[in-house]
Amino acid sequence: MNAASETAGVGGGIGATPRRTGSLRREIGFIGLLWASGGSIIGSGWLFGARNALEYAGPAAVISWAIGALAIFLLALTHAELGGMWPVSGGTARFPHVAFGGAAGASFGWFSWLQAATVAPIEVLAMITYGTHYHWARSFEKSNGVLTAQGIAVAVGLMAVFTAINFLGVRKLAHTNSAATWWKIGIPLLAIFVVGFSDFHTSNFSTHLVSGPGGFMPFGAKGILAAISTSGIIFALLGFEQADQLAGESARPQRDIPRAVIMSVIIGAIVYVALQVVFLGGLPHSAIAGGWTKGAYTAFSGPWANLASLLALGWLATILYLDAVISPGGTGLIYTTSTSRVSYGLSRNGYYPAIYEATDSRAVPWFGLITAFVVGCVCFLPFPSWQSLVGLITGASVLMYAGAPLAFGAFRHRLPNAARPYRAPFGEVLAPLAFIVANLLILWTGWHTDVRLGVAILIGYVVLVVTRALGLNTHSPQLDPRAASWLLPYLIGLGAIVYVSDWNPGGGATPTGPNWIPEWWDIGAVAVFSVIIYYWAMMVALPRERIEQMIEDVVLPEEEGIGGSQPAPAPAADGPGPAPSA
């Protein structure tokens, strides 16, 4: 991005002085945004992802991570352009609203909120799982990883801590998260360096095991693809959208948001691929002799800390057990923030009750935080273990991400000359390709997970209908049914393809459904279906005049203060240093 593009946008130039946008304050700088996204990516996924991926794909898990990173990068490019164009709070949930109207906006808004609300609980579960290493915490979890009554009480307490910190305000949150993220990135790098140079076995990448299939690709292409969605790879790489979600509180959004989104994905991809390579190479032969699905390493409750102990690196194991509190805790903290901002944005659009726009004296959307706390605690009942919640979050996240390529394409077609501080390359190809990738990730999640996601979607529609029927928000957006005519066929059609594919039930298991679409043909079916839905959506997207009116009604009020003459710039709240007062 050049200097001109840094100041281009709907509102013109960008100042750095904290200011109000509606009821939120623009006081987060580039480092704050980068660490919000990067810190969300480096969470509990690094603590479990490398072990879980090996169970599904064996040594070829390295390929799984590379494919997953490429898929997320394509989706991130569309988010980077959209976030720079219109920096509004809860942006990921709101771009489809501007492009396709109320029905589509409400749907993708719910997908976004559902994803954000379920991440904090899974980070709490990760903290407790690693914590059972200590004798005093072993009563918190059963041998199968499910929380006990005591564990649920501890989990609720940790959720309360996330919520309490958020009530301190976005400035203190940015400082806390930035400090935690330096640690969160430093510790995985330390583990990579120490384990990689301590005892690295290149033979692990092609070993022929005594029990079970061996070689580099023991489970073939199906295992590689299953690992991407089911083992936690995509879950681990999620989080780049946090810069978009906090865009309404960015001091220099048109410049900082695209950079934060893209750089966070690059950093996360490099770290995770290196972690997989080093974890695989660092395993002693005895740990994998029993096979990739039943080897001794599969019983590691704290995979990296257990590996450090096996390598006689007790000091590193101690640090890793400490990191198992800080890394998931930082991610849970920022997703609690994100959940409240998404609900704030949905209320601004008229989908949620107006009370979600209420803010306290620190400009914190307090009702959204309380809701995030309650829903997070409820999640511990149907999903009492880390692995049980991964699939649902992955499916909801990818479904949320699928709205961005559609909105991206609609804006490119309807508003080709709109100011774009960051312009993603090859947009005409990128948008449909990113949409195909998102739908493939949903396919690879498997039927059993997608069914639970469908139930969650129905619950969301009930909430949205009740809000509208009871008049809980005075702003009732137009539903624009024609612009969203592709939505229901998309959800039902994609679900039907998953059901009749060899991903029923998913996870590489033997299909229990009709299995009418065999391996590889299922990928082609999803690709063709995605292209049809994409161009259908492009044809019926809101007309230019309506989109411009939506921008004026929804977007510009939140951009008030970005452009025009501003007081002398002051340092933005980039990290845990001095920052201007609001």
Beta bridge partners of 21: 24
Q: Over 80: is that where the pLDDT of 26 sits?
A: no
Give the phi and the psi of residue 20 in degrees, each rounded to 5.
-90, 140
Least reliable range by pLDDT among 73-77, 433-437, 459-463:
459-463
Please choose, from the candidates 93, 97, 102, 116, the residue with its C-alpha nearest in 3D space to the C-alpha of residue 465. Answer: 102
Would residue 129 count as lying in a domain?
Answer: yes
Q: Is 463 exposed, middle or buried (0-12, 13-18, 19+ CB in 10 A)?
A: middle
What CA–CA distance (Å, rounded) separates 248 from 299? 44
pLDDT in tens, 452-503: 888 888 888 888 889 888 888 887 778 899 999 999 999 999 999 999 988 7
Q: Over 70: is that where the pLDDT of 305 sits?
A: yes
Rounded to the nearest angstrom, the gap between the alpha carbon of residue 469 and the centroid of all alpha carbons in its chain is 31
What percent of the chain is predicted at pLDDT more than 70? Answer: 85
Would residue 483 count as lying in a domain?
Answer: yes
Query: What's the average model confidence in pLDDT over 493-517?
Result: 75
Would residue 205 count as lying in a domain?
Answer: yes
Residue 342's contacts (CB-CB under 8 Å, 6 or more residues apart) are 90, 92, 93, 109, 112, 113, 116, 245, 368
**Per-residue pLDDT band at 60 (split at 50, 70, 90):** very high
Furthest CA-CA distance within the chain: 72
> What Å distances lie between residue 498 and 30, 224, 533, 536, CA to CA?
40, 18, 16, 21
* Paired tokens of 8: 């281009």
Would residue 537 count as lying in a domain?
Answer: yes
Please count the CA atoms within 13 angstroms of the CA of 3 that sit on its side-chain side: 0
pLDDT of residue 137: 86
CB 539 within 8 A of CB 254: no
Query: What's the average model confidence in pLDDT over 81-100?
Result: 84
Would residue 561 count as lying in a domain?
Answer: no
For residue 322, the enclosing domain spans 24-555
Would residue 485 count as lying in a domain?
Answer: yes
* Paired tokens of 311: 């390598």
- Alpha carbon dihedral 449, 326, 79, 24, in 10-degree steps, equals 110
Q: What CATH number should be reported for the domain holding residue 237?
A: 1.20.1740.10
Number of domains in the chain: 1
pLDDT of residue 511: 55
Would residue 580 count as lying in a domain?
Answer: no
Would residue 364 count as lying in a domain?
Answer: yes
**Cα-Cα end-to-end distance for the chain:** 29
Query: What's the average model confidence in pLDDT over 392-399?
Result: 82
pTM, two decimals, is 0.80
Query: What's the average model confidence in pLDDT over 521-539?
Result: 96
Tokens 């914590």 sit on residue: 131
